[in-house]
A = this chain, B = another copy of it.
Amino acid sequence: MAPPARDTPTPTARTEAPTTSPPRAPLTRERVLSAAVALADDEGLWALTMRRLAQELGVEAMSLYHHVANKEAVLDGIVEVVLDEVNATVGAPGGPAAADAWQPAMRHRILTARTVLLRHRWAPRVLETRTTTNLPAIAYFDGTLGVLRTGGFSWDLAHHALHVLGSRALGFTQELFEPDDPDSGGDEAAAMLEQMADRFPNLVGMLAEVVHDDVGTLGWCDDQFEFEFALDLLLDGLEARRAAG
């Protein structure tokens, strides 16, 4: 009879790895940055402190300094993690054939990048504070340039287009009227405006005309729609400049 143990997989102990797996994964730069991204995603950028990050990894704060130089390096790192994710997503094959139609290709590219950044809303804010040159960002813009060049842009016009599209794709529009509490803040702001019809006649006039469903609130800005409206404006404008030579 063969020995039953070790060969018979039980529900709890499934296929065991041939090598002995360590009880705790050792700390690495990658693990530190992943935990930092997760922490910022879950609890916001303000929660990302060195002490809290260490706690999340089951380690003392000072241990982090063996894998990252300081907190600035953590911020540099998490931005690169997110931009790597952006590049991996937009670079996935199977997108529309970009050969003859740069506009839908660019549209798809930027809207795809946006979906990634929406999962890491803190990222654009941190990106804006980075001063060091950033490899994944360079790679992203190189890909953008590739789409433009394939579409027949001159280098000069592609250069300007990069500036225009870059601020749209990576630098988010601030949500002017986004309230802290999505339920109450809008009403509050609307009530405030209501009292100031004479001071802000245009805003009040627009509100009266544009608000659809929730009358009396300011939650009527469809962010996705506004983003695409601005994006198409830019794309059409660039196409006109391009066609003009």
- Interfacial residues, chain A to chain B (CB-CB below 8 A): 125, 127-129, 131-133, 137-139, 141-143, 145-146, 149, 155-156, 158-160, 163-164, 166-167, 170-174, 176-180, 185, 188-189, 192-193, 199-203, 205-206, 209-210, 221, 226, 229-230, 233-234, 236-238, 240-241
Contacts and interface: CB of A to CB of B under 8 A. Distances in A.
10 contacts: A125-B128, A142-B200, A142-B202, A142-B203, A164-B229, A167-B174, A233-B234, A234-B237, A236-B237, A236-B240
Nearest to A200: B142
A174 B127 CA distance: 8
Given A131-B179, A132-B180, A163-B173, 15 more contacts: A127-B174, A131-B180, A133-B177, A137-B176, A139-B199, A141-B203, A146-B202, A155-B206, A160-B226, A163-B229, A170-B174, A171-B172, A171-B174, A233-B241, A234-B234
Contacts of A221: 163
6 closest cross-chain pairs (CB), A and B:
A145-B202, A233-B237, A167-B173, A155-B209, A142-B200, A163-B226
A176 B141 contact: yes
Contacts of A185: 133
A163 B230 contact: yes
A159 B205 CA distance: 11
Nearest to A237: B233
A177 to B, nearest CB: 7
A117 to B, nearest CB: 13
A163 to B, nearest CB: 4
A192 B133 CA distance: 10
A176 B180 contact: no
Contacts of A146: 202
Contacts of A174: 127-128, 166-167, 170-171
A92 to B, nearest CB: 18
B229 A145 contact: no
Nearest to A45: B129
A133 B189 CA distance: 7
